[in-house]
Structure 1
Amino acid sequence: MGCGAFKVVYKAIDQDEGIEVAWNEISVSGDLQSLDSLVSEVKLLKDIQHPHIIAFYDAWYDEDNLKVVLITERMTGGTIKNFIQKKGPFKLNVIKRWCKQILIGLDYLHSHNPPIVHHDIKSDNIFVNSITGIVKIGDLGLCTQLFEGKIKDVVGTLEFLSPESFEGTVSEAVDIWAFGMSVIEITTLEYPYSECKSNFGMVYRKITRGERPLAYYRINDQELLSFINDCISYKTETRKNAKELLEHPFLNILDGLSDARFISLRSDMELEKYLQELQISGTIPLLKSISSPALSSNKPDTGKGTPKNG
């Protein structure tokens, strides 16, 4: 079904229940610290039960192969990223329903005491049931409970990290920023900051300076932009939380003719002209190119592992 730097996921059958499940094998390489971290993750997963969070069923340690096996719910549509690549683009009412479900799941995590921070919200870690349309947050491997609000290392996927993450400051707001970047990715089919061509330094500078990814400027829907702006406000104190975002006008109307349309996006020519206008007005810095690979280009995911503080 999928693989990463340390994890391989297989489709399996639960012969007791007669259902398909996801069999996750995570390599620990005899590293006791990694094993302790995974044990903590398993304990946390057991406490998380919600309609918009991937269900956890069982776990054990395979000592012979130095792997931890996690058995979780399997979603028929796979990740939203793959689903869009195969079936998209989708109309605005679909995007709204997805956003609402993701936020409900985030609100559940953030409402725990202490709050649970996912740390790696992106379209690769959001799953869809292609039959029912239900969306769930998955891959909770980096989840932590927020006891102090500081971490030693920057964790997550580079292009989805918030500015404060690079300072080791963590709150529920880092998930909201990543969600906002995910909305940009889902609506434009372009990876955030793809114009940087996976250059860590370039992405880091753009994020810490508060510069939007080029894909953001392709969006030509003011209500959607307002919604995204509330997610990726540079200052955490002005960034909306999940509960507040659920009240945003963008999510208020989920049916009707106003939503039965595709998102308005600028073409390459329109984007070039719009960016020139923004540069002349001093709204954004000078840009060299608008080249921005789409999701369908199979761009390699640079977010594997744990990027260190730049």
Structure 2
Amino acid sequence: MTSRLQNKLLQDPPDARKNPGKSYKRIDFEFLRKIGDGAYGQVWKVKHKKTSALFALKQVPKSKVVSILQQFSREVNILYKLSHPHIIKLLTHFEDDKYFYLIMELIEGGTLFHKLYREKNLLETTAAQYFREVVLAVEYLHSQNPPIVHRDIKPENILLDREGRIKLIDFGWANYCERQGRTRKTFCGTSEYMPPEIIGNIGHDISADIWCLGVLLYEMLVGTTPFKNSEREEMSRMIVQDMIRFPQWLSPLSADLIGLMLTKDYERRPNIYEIKHHAWLKSIEPIRPTIVQHFEKPEVLNNFTTKEIEYKKDYTTEATDSGESEGEFEGKYARKKGKKSLEEIRENVLAENAETNRNKDKLEIIFAMMNMEKEKLTQLEEKIAKKRKENSQLSNAHIELCSKNFDANLEVNRLEGVDINELAERKKSMQRKMLETGKECKIYKLKLDELRKKVNKESVSIANNEFILQKLKIAFDQITNASKHERNDKKSSENELKINIEFLKQQLIEKTSVLSSFSPDELLAAKDISSFIKNRMNIINDMAREISKKIEFAEERANDIEQMMQELKINYDMKKGEICQNCQNCKDKITKNQRIEKEAKRSSSRKRSEETRKDLKFSLSESKLLNFPIDHTHIEKAHERIKVLFTQNLKSMISRLEKIIVRKKKTHNELQAEILKNHEVINCNL
């Protein structure tokens, strides 16, 4: 207990001060799932084990907050002070040796950032609704005494509940402002939402929140921030110097409001009261009921005077926020009012509750009727949109048909006006080109035949070389086998000799024992026998040396043959590569020439088509000047003529293609026959 008290860094929460025995611990809550991660901690969805109530718990490590403990304690104190339907409510807090725990109300609709990420940009009505609710929250902050500046308003710090209402969160950079002067000089906030005065470090006040609201509205309507850039220095320069650019489809009123809020000079920016009463917000009706905040307009726009605030909730009958008793609410209300007594406040609150209860049923009926009308309107809008699409498609189809008919008629007239002599001249020129191409094809065929003959000769020489290589391989295999046999024979003879020597040694040992009993004549005979055996052993050793020399000679010869085979193989591969390279070069030359011819033909056809297009354009311009009437009978005849010409051209093209296919098949069959012959020759040589 003593260690926990020693490590305590924050003051007790308000509920612990009123009830000294009441305190929470980490064990009192069941951690269900992690909602999000922040720079200094994690947010969890938790359940109180006794009451089963659901909360959002922010778990902040003390090691990360020790250096900014004053800023963190200020954030906690500001959150306890605030009580607004569009600002997150801090209910209580506690701590242990490692963590701070902030218990807040649970909002499960996600952030505005995720909604913008899914939808890219919002409709003007939904953007106006979200912006209206954010403005109400900022108006409440700026009306405090002293005023509170948030300094980090962005989509990531705006939560959405299940009904779509917003909650402003993350007061880590929030601070108090004095009534006069620009007292804040902290470099803080998100770079894309940072106003010019914070970048220039000239001091700022609550007008910094107005700039953030302008960037927020621009991002909701357009889908991106106005001064977005990948490099931070360039983005800071754009914020300070560049003018804002609006897309053409943006409404003038919304562009006017954004331009006012994003004024570079902080003294010329509107205050939150003027933004709330701008024509754009008045022109768009709310999607759902919102709270009604009444502020008296201050005499000086930026003197930060705080006036009386009255809330009237159209969508709830509760007089106090969640987690506050009636007595606590009365105490806060009395402290804010300062003049009225507790009894008068209680009477006013009860009267307001009665009025809200009476109006609740009426509002529900009105909302139900409005929903029915909205559904009908959406159905009608869908039908109208479908009909408009159908009409646009039909009109486009009609225009296309008219243009096609007119073009067909002009084409028919052009074909009728063509001179036969010109066609004959074109035919002759085409025939000349065909003859020239035929001659070139014959030349290429002769070159191909020469190349084939060369390939055949080289293939015969390659086959002979392969046959020689195979013979050398057989000889090498025979030599290796003979050397193996000789080695095996040598080993077997050596083994036999070793056995004989061991046997003789044993006999000598036996006979030495016997020699002791021999006579001198017998000893002389034994010496003769031993000398004979030594002579025989010397002869055997000489034979073994000769055999090893022969084996070494055979191995050297085998290595020489193997080197010869490798050299022949390398020469064979070199010749083969050269022949293939020559064939490939010839093939590339032929393909290049064919491509050049095709490109020349295409360019000539393009020139002709361009000439015909120019003629058609000229005839079209003349027909437009003369108001050329369109006769449907002429159009039908033109269609028939075009079909006949088209079918004739198709038939001629098909016949040409068939002839080309037959020629290609013949050449293919000839090549296959030559390849088979070459294979047979190679097999015979092998």
TM-score by length of 1: 0.74
Structure 2 alignment gaps of length 5 or more = 1-34, 287-373, 382-686
Q: Could you tell me how far apart the structure 1 residues matched to 2:184 and 2:251 are? A: 37
1:42 CA drift (Å): 1.0
- Residue 231 (structure 1) aligned with residue 264 (structure 2): no
Q: Could you tell me how far apart the structure 2 residues matched to 1:219 and 1:234 are? A: 24
The answer on whether the counterparts of 1:76 and 1:128 sit within 8 Å (CA) in structure 2 is yes
Which is helix-richer, 1 or 2?
2
- Residue 253 (structure 1) aligned with residue 283 (structure 2): yes
Q: Could you tell me how far apart the structure 2 residues matched to 1:4 and 1:192 are? A: 25
- 2:519 aligns with none
Letter in 2 for 1:114: P
Q: Could you tell me how far apart the structure 2 residues matched to 1:75 and 1:81 are? A: 15
Alignment equivalent of 1:193, drawn from 216, 220, 227: 227
Q: How does 1:1-310 map to 2 (within 5 A)?
A: 1-15=35-49, 18-29=52-63, 32-63=66-97, 65=98, 67-86=99-118, 89-129=121-161, 131-147=162-178, 149-166=182-199, 167-194=201-228, 196-197=229-230, 199-212=231-244, 216-217=246-247, 220-255=250-285
The answer on whether the counterparts of 1:103 and 1:243 sit within 8 Å (CA) in structure 2 is no
Q: Which has the larger radius of gyration?
A: 2
1:219 CA drift (Å): 5.5
1:247 CA drift (Å): 0.4
Q: Could you tell me how far apart the structure 2 residues matched to 1:24 and 1:4 are? A: 9
Going from structure 1 to structure 2, the CA distance change for 1:19 and 1:211 (only over 3 Å counts) comes to farther
Structure with greater contact order relative to length (CA < 8 Å, sep ≥ 6): 1
Which is strand-richer, 1 or 2?
1
| Percent of aligned pairs with the same amino acid | 25
Q: Specify the SS of the correspondent of 1:240.
A: coil
Q: Could you tell me how far apart the structure 1 residues matched to 2:100 and 2:173 are? A: 15
The answer on whether the counterparts of 2:257 and 2:280 sit within 8 Å (CA) in structure 1 is yes
Q: Could you tell me how far apart the structure 2 residues matched to 1:126 and 1:118 are? A: 12
The answer on whether the counterparts of 2:141 and 2:147 sit within 8 Å (CA) in structure 1 is yes
Going from structure 1 to structure 2, the CA distance change for 1:163 and 1:20 (only over 3 Å counts) comes to same
Matched length: 252
Q: Could you tell me how far apart the structure 1 residues matched to 2:248 and 2:41 are? A: 34
Letter in 2 for 1:53: I
The answer on whether the counterparts of 1:160 and 1:192 sit within 8 Å (CA) in structure 2 is no
1:7 CA drift (Å): 2.5
Going from structure 1 to structure 2, the CA distance change for 1:38 and 1:107 (only over 3 Å counts) comes to same
The answer on whether the counterparts of 1:176 and 1:242 sit within 8 Å (CA) in structure 2 is yes
Going from structure 1 to structure 2, the CA distance change for 1:16 and 1:57 (only over 3 Å counts) comes to farther
- 1:280 aligns with none
Structure 1 alignment gaps of length 5 or more = 262-310
Which one is further off, 230-239 or 115-124? 230-239
Q: Could you tell me how far apart the structure 2 residues matched to 1:107 and 1:245 are? A: 10
Which one is further off, 69-78 or 42-51? 69-78
What are the Cα deviations for residues 1-60 of structure 1, in whole angstroms up to 9, with x where unaligned? 221322322222244554432211233426544123212221111100001111111122
Q: Could you tell me how far apart the structure 2 residues matched to 1:163 and 1:40 are? A: 25
1:90 CA drift (Å): 3.6
Going from structure 1 to structure 2, the CA distance change for 1:186 and 1:90 (only over 3 Å counts) comes to closer
Q: Specify the SS of the correspondent of 1:69.
A: strand
The answer on whether the counterparts of 2:185 and 2:198 sit within 8 Å (CA) in structure 1 is no
- 1:284 aligns with none
Going from structure 1 to structure 2, the CA distance change for 1:57 and 1:32 (only over 3 Å counts) comes to same
Q: Could you tell me how far apart the structure 2 residues matched to 1:132 and 1:68 are? A: 31
TM-score by length of 2: 0.35
